[in-house]
Amino acid sequence: MQDTIYNRVFNDALVAEHIFLLKSLSIAIDKYREYLNERAKKNEATDLEREQQDLLKYSASRTFVFYIIGRLAEVILNKKVTALYNWKAKTDLISKTNTAVMKGWLEVLQTIFPQIVFVIKKEKKVDSINPFYEVPRSFEQSKSVADELKALLTSQLPILGKQFENIRKRTML
């Protein structure tokens, strides 16, 4: 049983380029959170930015964003993705500073976060105290948000697709 779980998580397809891609996404999430916090601190944040900030302040938000990105991979890349492990940063972009791929992720996050907030608020349960806390902790609700986001972003791809170009150029399957 443990070998099966280990092999599923650490399979042969797991390579440094994939880990770098995920590390770059993690850094981009931190940078986006810092940007929202700074805007709020200066009292410049819009209501929508404050809601995004609210979503990102909880510990489960990073895992939630990783899940959402995985579910949106085909929309972001605009091609069929058979295995997420195959999504990798281009080897020549791997560096200590991590800027090229991270900037691509920032553009993706800036595009999808307002949509995430919209969908979460739309699907808010009547008895929900704070959906930005609750949704990332529920697999069923996270899946529902991801499915609706996928449809929403796909319908807006002619407009929003340009926001995904840099991550497409900097990664490969």
Count CB atoms within 10 A of the CB of residue 2.
6
Q: Domain containing 38: what range? A: 2-172
User: Structurally, how many domains does the chain consist of?
Assistant: 1
Alpha-carbon gap, residue 87 to 55, rounded angstroms: 26
Q: Give per-residue pLDDT as tens, 104-161.
A: 999 999 999 999 999 999 877 656 788 999 999 999 999 999 999 999 999 998 888 8
Q: Give per-residue pLDDT as tens, 23-49.
A: 999 999 999 999 999 999 999 999 999
Q: Give per-residue pLDDT as tens, 86-102.
A: 999 999 888 888 788 99
**pLDDT tier at 8, thresholds 50, 70, 90:** low
Q: Give per-residue pLDDT as tens, 135-146.
A: 999 999 999 999
